[in-house]
Every structure is written in structure tokens, then in C-alpha cells.
Structure 1
Amino acid sequence: MFAKKIVSSVISVLFLGITASSAFAAKSIEANLSNDTAQVEFDTKLASTSNLYVNGSLLYTEEDDNHSAIVGTLGFQGVETNNKTYRAAVGGRLYFYDYSSLNGAAVAVGGMFYHTIPGAQRLSAGGYGWFAPQVTSFGNTEQIYELGGRVAFRVIQNTDVFVGYRYLKLKHEKSGVKFNDPLEKGPHVGFRLNF
């Protein structure tokens, strides 16, 4: 039941972000896939601000052979970019998840940085990190952290394809439940449309 609420909430956020792109000046839509995982994300600038962005994502993973997981995010970041050579952001992100019989939420802080590789203007690389300690985690959630990186190639104007790696770990204190493995880890491929 909680999973359906998460899915409908994030899909609603994504739909509103995409359909209201003229009001919010949508900046990017992204999708990535691996053998076990699919993720969609949108990023848009808030109207009447110079560098405040809101983004949302939905990740579905079958990394665990016995259970699937849904992880949604909704974030606010200060972003600096020229959309040609670099993009940097610092801010906060709300994570909410449903995994097996567990669900919860946490507020993470972090950021990301991507830059074109000198001498290869169509090639860029970078990474990101998000961390939610116990003090900003709700219910039985103890901690969430996500790390990742990617190498992207601009195939046509404002459209990148990329190869990335993601590591997403969840700590939960529900008795009898042990998390020795990350919720999601491994390489993926995807594309990003920049507006």
C-alpha cells in the first residue's frame, strides 16, 4: 500500500514538473537503466529565482533477488551552471522508500559537480553524494546515503548519453532485519535532455 502511495506521489510530482515546464522553466529530464534498475528524474528552475532548482526522481530496483524496492526523492538545490562546460549544486533532498516490509523517509544533504573534460568539449565527467544521518531520518530509518558518478557524451545539442555508477545504502533499525548489502549498486546507462 505504501509503495502505491510513493509511486503515485512521485509520478504526480514528475507529471506536474513536466507539464508545468513553461511556468517553472524546466531544465532537464533524465532516465537511466541497468539490468535490475530503472530511474527517471526531472530538474527545473523555480520561477523568479536566479539559481534555485527543484527536482524529483523515482527509482525502481530489483537488486535484491527476493524483494524489489522503490525509492523516491524530492530536492531543492542552489545550482550554478552554464549548461555547456559545468554544473554544480548544493542543497537538500527528501528520500522516501518502500522495500520489502520496510518504508520510511529521511532528509539528506549533499551536492554534485560535473565538468567537461579539457580538450574534449563533448565529453564530461563528475559525481554526486547525498547523506541523511539518523538525526534527519524518520521512524525506524537510521541512515541513507547515495554516491555516484558518470561519464557523459553530448551526442547532439543539449542531449547527453552517459554511463554511470550508483551506490545507495539504507540502514533501518527494525528488529530482525539486517542490511548487509546496499539497496542498489552498480553501473547503468542513460540519457539527459537539457533545455
Structure 2
Amino acid sequence: MKVTRVSVMLLSLASAPLAYAGDVDLSLTNDSAKGQVNFFNTNNDTQVGAGYTYHEGSRHIFNVDAHAQGRTAIGNLPTTAGLGVKGIFWDDDSLDGGALGIGGYATVNIPRVPGLSFTGGLHYAPSILSFGDSDDMTSLELRGSYRIIRNAEVFAGYRYLNTELDSPYRGDVNLDEGVLAGIKVFF
């Protein structure tokens, strides 16, 4: 059953949207598989993307991202940063919900080691921007990447997606959490 869902996810990501993609990102944790398509490259002033995560136990997580982005520097390190929103929608058996998180990301390139970069992204949605069974939501992803060829890189990192459940359920649920590894292909 797991193989079938992952195959369907990969085939759906490989369809028409790839014709317009700037990059495709595939990652795995011990309990989940995620595919992300970003439609513009790092030279554009905006970045729009969409993703799907299948988490073991029949949890489905969808995201849609929209960020203003630009080039800057942290110290003397070239950096691409983005500020914007991440819409996250999840479904898990009898519970479902979502949120519109506000936040951003930054990718810092290390000039002394060509191809090496570090990325961090954080989005938070308070209860006013949450719906369904979610009362708030936090999305965090940290990764180190190494570009092995001109149009592909490998990465490893950590992903954390947490929501507080609304009444009557109460409590926190880690929708997706764990050490991740993956590949990113640029078009």
C-alpha cells in the first residue's frame, strides 16, 4: 500500500506542472514521503510552490506557498531569502484541518565550498489563521544541501510540522517530524 501511494505521488508530480517548474524536491523521513514543486528560480522576485506529504498511518498533508524573494547577504555569505505565506491542509482519518502560516526562509551559500548551502524555513499560524481541527500550526524545516551537478543537489535535515488541536480534542499533534534526506532537481 505504501509503495502504491508513493508511486501515485511521484506520477502526479511528474505530470503537467513539471513543464512550468523551476525545481522539484523529493524527501523522505522514517515515516513520510514529500514532493514539492516550486515554479520559479532563485532569480525571480516571487516564489510559488505546491507540495504533498504522505505520512504513515494514512495522513495526507498538502501545502501551497507564496513568497516574495530576493538576494541579500548574511555577513559576507550570499543569501536568498523569502517572506510570505504557507497554506497547509491536512487530513487524518476522522480529523482534518489547516492553517495559513506567515513566515519565510533563507538559503545561505558557502563560497569557500562551492555547492554547499544551508536552508532554514519557519512559518507560524495562530488560531485566527487556523481552521478545522487545528487551533494553531508551526512549520519548521532545516537542511544542508550539496549541489552534486549543475542541476541537482542532495540534502539532509530536519522537518517539524505541529498543530494544536481545537476543542473537543485538545493537545498537540506532530503531523510530520523527523530527520529527512532527499534530492532537488532544477529545470
TM-score, structure 2 normalization: 0.81
Matches within 5 A, 1:36-115: 36-45=31-40, 50-62=44-56, 67-81=57-71, 86-115=79-108
Name the residue aligned to 1:185: 177
Q: CA deviation at 1:180?
A: 4.2
1:182 match: secondary structure: strand
- Distance between the aligned counterparts of 2:107 and 2:186, measured in 1? 14
Q: Is the 8 A contact 1:14 1:57 kept in 2?
A: no
- Distance between the aligned counterparts of 1:103 and 1:174, measured in 2? 13
CA gap of 1:138–1:107, structure 2 versus 1, over 3 A, is: same
Which runs of 5 or more structure 2 residues have no equivalent in the other structure? 1-7, 73-77
**Per-residue deviation, residues 16-58 of structure 1 (Å, max 9, x unmatched):** 4223x1xxxx211110012211000000139xxx512210000
Amino acid at match of 1:77: H
2:128 match: secondary structure: helix
Q: Is the 8 A contact 1:14 1:42 kept in 2?
A: no
TM-score, structure 1 normalization: 0.78
- Distance between the aligned counterparts of 1:61 and 1:68, measured in 2? 6
Name the residue aligned to 1:18: 18
Which runs of 5 or more structure 1 residues have no equivalent in the other structure? 1-7
**Per-residue deviation, residues 79-120 of structure 1 (Å, max 9, x unmatched):** 2259xx532211112111002311122111111111122411
Q: Is the 8 A contact 2:122 2:139 kept in 1?
A: yes
1:35 match: secondary structure: coil
Structure 1 stretches of at least 4 aligned residues deviating more than 6 Å after TM superposition: 11-14
